[in-house]
């Protein structure tokens, strides 16, 4: 299938490579030549603008940072809207507010263009392995049209509901996952202060009811004090702003998420936003004078 792709960062690059490995044609736009070169070498076709991407592919994926970024890619100068033909599909895999996804879908529908909001979970490791969990909002028949492409990038594909529902699912994912990272940080800070070997704590907990993917990955990082970013903490900070803003608008109390939000604020204030979110351990240690 002919596909378009915008977003060639830590997540987008391996997703493009997996599409190519699935024998799909990929037309992409990258702002930086150094980001484009390895993808061209792998067989993707570089375009000069998002509009040119849309002119070459009726299904276009985007994975960028914020809702404002998605809007600019779609409706800014030389944006996708200038190249989309009726019957095209935008599949936005970014993490953005549900309301933004609904608004973009409505604007595109007026042009005869369908949209899926399809944020992902699994991080860079899942993107490379093609095992991402994909949470989809939009029309079921549009999902079925795109499903062969999703299968090149992900393992779990769930239709959540109408436009915006995929982003609601991603907000739920982030609320649970980052709260678990904070819990790991507190547990290992507690173990350190108690004078106990944290590697043995990790081994013991991993085999019990506290065992989880977050403990396995983030706990190991905390034990090794390896804070080189898998996913930069600033992105989880951005995601939690979405969670708390949505909760405020809905009048839903999220007391645990609110506390985690404060820890992420402290992390950002300490200049740790480019490190892995496991550096929440440093925030807890600082609070205890460690």
Pick the catalytic residue from 58, 170, 238, 282.
170
- In Å, how far from its chain's centre is CA 198? 30
pLDDT at 290: 52
Round the average pLDDT of the chain to a whole number and report it.
Answer: 96
- Give the H or E element holding residue 197: none
What is the 3 state secondary structure string of 162-194?
Answer: CCCHHHHHHHHHHHHHHHHHHHHHHHHHHHHHC
Distance CA 93, CA 146 (A): 13
Distance CA 28, CA 49 (A): 9
Q: What is the pLDDT of residues 173-217, one digit of tens each?
A: 999 999 999 999 999 999 999 999 999 999 999 999 999 999 999
CA gyration radius, the chain: 20
Q: What is the pLDDT of residues 57-87, one digit of tens each?
A: 999 999 999 999 999 999 999 999 999 999 9
What's the angle, vertex CA 129, arms to CA 243 and CA 230, rounded to 5? 50
170: annotated active-site residue: yes
CB 118 within 8 A of CB 166: yes
pTM of the full predicted structure? 0.94
DSSP 39-84: HHHTT-EE-SSHHHHHHH-SEEEE--SSHHHHHHHHHSTT-GGGTP
Enumerate domains of the chain plus CATH numbers. Answer: 2-162 (3.40.50.720), 168-287 (1.10.1040.10)
- The torsion angle over the Cα atoms of residues 247, 250, 254 and 260, rounded to 10 degrees, is 10
């Amino acid at each position: 299938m002919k596909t378009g792709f915008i977003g060639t960062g830590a997540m987008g690059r391996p997703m493009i490579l997996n599409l190519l490995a699935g024998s799909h044609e990929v037309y992409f736009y990258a702002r930086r030549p150094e980001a484009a070169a390895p993808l061209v070498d792998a067989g993707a076709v570089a375009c000069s603008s998002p509009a040119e991407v849309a002119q070459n592919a009726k299904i276009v994926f985007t994975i960028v940072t914020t809702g404002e970024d998605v809007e600019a890619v779609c409706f800014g100068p030389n944006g996708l809207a200038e190249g989309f033909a009726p019957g095209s599909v935008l599949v936005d895999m970014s993490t953005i507010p549900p309301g933004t996804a609904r608004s973009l879908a409505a604007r595109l529908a007026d042009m005869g263009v369908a949209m899926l909001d399809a944020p992902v979970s699994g991080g860079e490791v899942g993107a490379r392995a093609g095992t991402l969990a994909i949470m989809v909002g939009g029309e079921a028949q549009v999902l079925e049209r795109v499903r062969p492409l999703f299968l090149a990038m992900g393992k779990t594909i769930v239709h959540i509901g109408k436009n915006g529902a995929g982003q609601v699912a991603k907000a739920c994912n982030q609320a649970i996952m980052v709260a678990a990272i904070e819990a790991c940080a507190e547990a290992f800070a507690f173990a350190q202060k108690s004078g106990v070997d944290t590697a043995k704590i990790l081994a013991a907990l991993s085999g019990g009811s506290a065992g989880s993917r977050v403990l396995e990955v983030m706990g190991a990082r905390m034990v090794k004090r390896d804070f080189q970013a898998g996913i930069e903490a600033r992105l989880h900070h951005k995601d939690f702003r979405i969670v708390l803003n949505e909760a405020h608008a809905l009048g839903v109390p999220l007391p645990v998420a609110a506390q985690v939000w404060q820890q992420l604020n402290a992390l950002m204030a300490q200049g740790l936003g480019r490190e892995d979110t496991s550096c929440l351990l440093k925030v807890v240690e600082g609070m205890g004078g460690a």
